[in-house]
Amino acid sequence: MQETMERTWLIVAMSISPLFVYYILKKIRKVVIQWALKHAYKDNRHALLALKLLGGKNPPLDEFQSLLPSLPVPKLSSTLKQWLESVRPLVSEEAFRRAEEAAKEFESSKEGKDLQVQLVKRSKQCSNWLEDWWVQFAYLRQRVSLMTYVNYFCTDSSDFIFREPYTSDPIRRVVDLIESALDFKHRVDHNTLRPLRIKNVLPVCMKGMNKVFGTTRSPGDDCDELKTHIVPEDGDAHVLLMVGSSMFKLPVQVGGKRVSNSSIEQAIREATRAADSQGKSEWGEGRHAQPHVSQLTGLSRNKWASMYREMVNSHEANKEGIRTIEEALFAVSLLEDSVDSGDLHQYVNICLHNRGRQIWFDKCFTILAFKDGRVGWHYEHTYADAPVPGLMCEHAMVNGNPSSEDIRCYPRPLLAFSDAPVSASPIRWQCDALPGMKQWLREAEEETRSLLSDFDIRPFYWRNFGADVIKKCSMSPDAFCQAVVSTRYWGRAVLTYESASLRVFEGGRTDTIRSATSEVCEFAREFVKEKRILALINGMPLPKLFQEEAYNLEFQLATSQSPIVQEHEKVPVELMTLGGGFGPITSPGLGISYHILPDRLYFYVSVRSKDAEEDSKRCVEYIQQALEDLKGLLLRCPPEKKKS
């Protein structure tokens, strides 16, 4: 009996021991990774090695999320020191002396110390002390129009822009993109999307992925609200379809089953025919027979909030229409424009604002389908910064392209499909219950016209060299592009915003790099000194934008660099987007987005000024000249020595 018991205990122990050892090893791995994440962003070699060895090849999306470090609180003295360094080249000696005195006084004051204590206390109560404040004050409390002040856009693939897309049928094209976007959502929902890792080692926060679909910035008095509609696994889901001023609820999931591509395509074609067959109304005819309600979303936020509230309270049909839009996963807009691949100036302007029509600017993202089969992407900015929905766009562009079957990062997910036919139901606005609608639309038309009268955005594609050549000269490609931007200022310094990623921290988004440093300004002044004298002799005028009073230390120049490729490293550059851009954050102001590729650079220059179209053209010319001049500097650089 005793021998039997001993044998039983031995068997139990032997079966439990491997599980116990596995449990202990898993705990140790978690502790080591957590330690490594706290030190790796400081370029600690041991931490980076630990992440490389223990990170795994195909971890689930949330593998590192709970282990990411909290955003640290900088010391007050460090903050003030960096602030003084950033404003030094921008103000007079007298103004800087006063700033120094104010900084010293604040650092030693009770108020300064108390505020720092409160900041440290807040950092211990949440994973990211900045996250909520950033969303609230940088976005939700801003009252300007989203159209050109907040939102941004992304282009179609290079191949489809400069050559013909694989289909000239816009409906066929958007069906493929809808499918690919929904495949991406499926991976996010089922935790099978791999977390992004810098150089395949250092993981970044993937929190924003849950907001890419179904998110809407709902207007409010003085402060908007961010809403994300979560679709149950066995529930129904739809996309907002816009055809002219007509809007439809397009089902893409029924009872937890994905609607087939053929059914979605048929539903879109039927909706398009229904929109075009509408008779004449007080608003227009055909696909424009409904009021252009989407135009209201481009108004300043308080105006739109007042109208929104009245719409929701006016009639159940209007309330249901708003609910349908806000619960949509995203929007698809069938445009009547074609793309002129020889001049993309009009194309990028349509992608960003489309003259205020056929974009529900509050919606997370919109696929803009041009009638020649090309597309553009429009994004609301509040819920996440460009790399987050950009990853979705990257997957959709690759997986939605029939020629990229062999270079996809993921296989098509195995899904249950519904073959039952579906129809896109129209959103009908009860305007009888909204006597102010005509006046609202007139107001929106006037405000849009005024907003766009001093705005322009223009693309510039530089194909002479890219990151590879710059790196050979031991230069940072990003610093090089900032030097390009600075030299195009002809030696004049203004407060410059460059976005910096904080995604190595839990809930991290972006912070501000004040890139107009003393060193950069000195370089720009010295570099353009001879060129500037020559320009003055030749009578070349400075852009009107910079003849305005501009020493108020607003971020007159906003710059941003976003990756075009985050995961599909083997994809030819021609199959990927040409990047995208945004509008200036001040008036007057300038916005420059740039995208760095191994053999080329893409720029998007936006201007808000009295003569925006002419100024944007000049800005592009100056950037091109700066690149030509700096190219000469690169050619004089000795080649980078290989490390032995």
Residues with active-site annotation: 381
Alpha carbons 544 and 618: distance in angstroms, whole number: 10
- Rounded to whole angstroms, what are the CA distances from 238 to 170, 178, 184, 410, 535? 19, 11, 15, 24, 57
Cβ burial of 286 (10 Å; 0-12, 13-18, 19+) is: middle
Question: Element (H or E) spanning 487, and its range?
Answer: helix 477-487
Task: For tokens 């103004």, name the residue.
Answer: 95
Q: Are 165 and 156 in contact (CB under 8 A)?
A: yes
Closest C-alpha to 164, from 403, 413, 504, 392 = 403
Coil, helix or strand at residue 37: helix
Coil, helix or strand at residue 593: strand
Alpha carbons 566 and 577: distance in angstroms, whole number: 12
- How wide is the angle at C-alpha 441 spanned by C-alphas 436 and 445, nearest 5°? 150
Alpha carbons 414 and 80: distance in angstroms, whole number: 55
Q: Are 485 and 559 in contact (CB under 8 A)?
A: yes
Neighbours of 255 (CB within 10 A): 10
Question: Element (H or E) spanning 537, and its range?
Answer: helix 518-537
Alpha carbons 252 and 263: distance in angstroms, whole number: 9
Please, what's the largest Cα pairwise distance for the chain? 109
The tokens describing 403, both together, are: 């020629």
The tokens describing 509, both together, are: 């988004």
Q: Three-class SS string for 47-113?
A: HHHHHHHHCCCCCCCCCCHHHCCCCCCCCHHHHHHHHHHHHHHHCCHHHHHHHHHHHHHHHHCHHHH
Packed helices 387-399 and 170-189: angle between N→C axes, nearest 10 degrees: 120
The tokens describing 227, both together, are: 């809403």
Range 545-550, long-range pairs (CB < 8 A, 24+ positions): 545/588, 545/589, 545/590, 545/607, 545/609, 545/615, 545/619, 546/489, 546/492, 546/494, 548/588, 548/609, 550/494, 550/588
